[in-house]
Amino acid sequence: MSAKPYFMFAWAAIFIFNGLATAATIAPTHLRCQYWRNPRGVDLPQPRLSWQVQAKNPQSRNLKQSAYDVLVASSLQKLALNQGDLWNSGRVASSQTDGIPYAGKSLVSAERCFWKLRLWDQTGQPSAWSKPSRWQMGLLHQSDWQAHWIMAPANKSQALPIFRRDFHLPAAIARVELYICGLGQYAAYINGKAVGQSVLNPGWTKYSKTCLYRVYNVTALVHGGANAIGVLLGNGMYNVEQKRYAKFHGTFGPPKLIAQLRIVASNGTVKVIGTDTSWQTIAGPITFSSTYGGEDFNAMRNPIGWTRPGFTGSGWTAAVITHGPGGTLACVRRSAPPIKIHRVLVARSFYELPGGKWVYDLGQNCANLPEITVRGAAGESIKMSPGEWQNANRTIGAPIDAPVYFKYTIAPGGEAQTWHPLFTYFGSRYIMVTGAVPAGRPNPQHRPVIERVAALFVHGGGPQAGAFQCSSTLFNNTAKIIRWAMRSNMMSILTDCPTREKLGWLEQDHLMGPSLMYSYGMRRLFGKITGDIADSQTADGLVPDIAPEYVVFSDGFRNSVEWGSAAIAIPWQLYSWYGDKYILIRRYNCMRRYLAFLQRQAKANILYFGLGDWYDLGPKFPGFAQLTPIPFTATAYYYRDAMQLAKIAHLLGRQKDAIAFGQLAGRIRQSFNAKWYHAGVHSYATGSQTSNAIPLVFGLAPKADRAGILKSLVANIRKHNFGLTAGDVGYRFVLQALARGGRSDVVFTMNNQTTKPGYGFILAQGATALTESWKAIKGPSWDHFMLGHIMEWFYRDLAGIQPDPNVPAFRHIIIRPTVVGDITWARATCNSAAGPITSSWRRAGDIFNLHVVVPPNTTATVYLPAKAGPVTESNKPVPAQAGTDGMMLKQRTATLAIIHIGSGDYHFRSQLP
Q: So what CATH class is 808-911?
A: mainly beta
Axis-axis angle for helices 581-601, 523-536 (nearest 10)? 40
Q: State the CB neighbour count (10 A cutoff) for residue 412.
A: 11
Q: What is the mean pLDDT of residues 197-218?
A: 98
d(CA 457, CA 454): 9
256 touches 236 (CB < 8 A): no
Using one digit for the tens of pLDDT, what is the confidence trace for 397-427?
999 988 999 999 999 998 999 999 999 999 9
What element of type H or E holds 242? none
Q: Check pLDDT > 90 for residue 428.
A: yes
Using one digit for the tens of pLDDT, what is the confidence trace for 518-538?
999 999 999 999 999 999 999
834 touches 53 (CB < 8 A): yes
- Give the per-residue pLDDT at 730: 99
- Give the per-residue pLDDT at 285: 98
d(CA 213, CA 327): 11
Q: State the CB neighbour count (10 A cutoff) for residue 310.
A: 8
User: What CATH number does the domain located at 4-137 have?
Assistant: 2.60.40.10
Q: State the CB neighbour count (10 A cutoff) for residue 653.
A: 8
- Give the per-residue pLDDT at 6: 37
| pTM as predicted | 0.96
pLDDT > 70 fraction of the chain, expressed in percent and rounded = 98
- Give the per-residue pLDDT at 243: 87
Q: Check pLDDT > 90 for residue 722.
A: yes
Q: What is the mean pLDDT of residues 267-271?
A: 96
Amino acid letter, residue 722: F
User: What CATH number does the domain located at 466-799 have?
Assistant: 1.50.10.10
Fold category of 145-285+302-334 in CATH: Jelly Rolls (2.60.120)
**Antiparallel, parallel or unpaired: β 812-815 and 859-865:** parallel
Q: Check pLDDT > 90 for residue 465.
A: yes
Averaged pLDDT of the chain = 96
Amino acid letter, residue 259: A
Amino acid letter, residue 869: G
Nearest-CA neighbor of 500 among 291, 774, 333?
A: 291
Residue positions counted in the chain: 913
d(CA 280, CA 302): 15
Q: Is 140 exposed, middle or buried (0-12, 13-18, 19+ CB in 10 A)?
A: middle
Q: Check pLDDT > 80 for residue 633.
A: yes
Axis-axis angle for helices 655-676, 581-601 (nearest 10)? 50
d(CA 909, CA 875): 8
Q: What is the mean pLDDT of residues 827-844?
A: 98
Q: State the CB neighbour count (10 A cutoff) for residue 83.
A: 14
d(CA 843, CA 824): 5
**Antiparallel, parallel or unpaired: β 185-190 and 225-234:** antiparallel
Q: State the CB neighbour count (10 A cutoff) for residue 602.
A: 19
- Coil, helix or strand at residue 632: helix
Using one digit for the tens of pLDDT, what is the confidence trace for 764-782?
999 999 999 999 999 999 9
Nearest-CA neighbor of 459 among 542, 520, 550?
A: 520
Q: How confident is the model at residue 156 (pLDDT cuts 50, 70, 90)?
A: confident
Q: What is the mean pLDDT of residues 866-873?
A: 95
Using one digit for the tens of pLDDT, what is the confidence trace for 593-607?
999 999 999 999 999
Contacts 24+ apart (CB under 8 A), 351-357: 351/394, 352/441, 353/394, 353/395, 353/432, 355/434, 356/434, 356/435, 356/437, 356/447, 357/432, 357/433, 357/434
d(CA 328, CA 332): 13
- Give the per-residue pLDDT at 435: 97
Using one digit for the tens of pLDDT, what is the confidence trace for 794-820?
999 999 999 999 999 999 999 999 999
Q: Check pLDDT > 60 for residue 827.
A: yes
Q: What is the mean pLDDT of residues 462-480?
A: 98
Q: How confident is the model at residue 23 (pLDDT cuts 50, 70, 90)?
A: confident
- Give the per-residue pLDDT at 883: 87
155-159, 165-169, 273-277: lowest mean pLDDT where? Answer: 155-159
Using one digit for the tens of pLDDT, what is the confidence trace for 315-360?
999 999 999 999 999 999 999 999 999 999 999 899 999 999 999 9
- Give the per-residue pLDDT at 15: 40
Q: What is the mean pLDDT of residues 211-231?
A: 98
Q: Check pLDDT > 70 for residue 18.
A: no
608 touches 634 (CB < 8 A): yes
- Give the per-residue pLDDT at 753: 98
Nearest-CA neighbor of 562 among 632, 612, 501?
A: 612
Q: So what CATH class is 339-459?
A: mainly beta
d(CA 97, CA 580): 11
Nearest-CA neighbor of 519 among 793, 829, 815?
A: 829
Q: Where in the chain is the domain with CATH 2.60.120.260?
A: 145-285+302-334, 339-459
- Give the per-residue pLDDT at 16: 40
Q: Where in the chain is the domain with CATH 2.60.40.10?
A: 4-137
Q: How confident is the model at residue 241 (pLDDT cuts 50, 70, 90)?
A: confident
- Per DSSP, helices labelled H in 421-560 are 473-488, 507-511, 513-519, 523-536
- Coil, helix or strand at residue 523: helix
- Give the per-residue pLDDT at 22: 59
d(CA 613, CA 603): 21
Q: Where in the chain is the domain with CATH 1.50.10.10?
A: 466-799
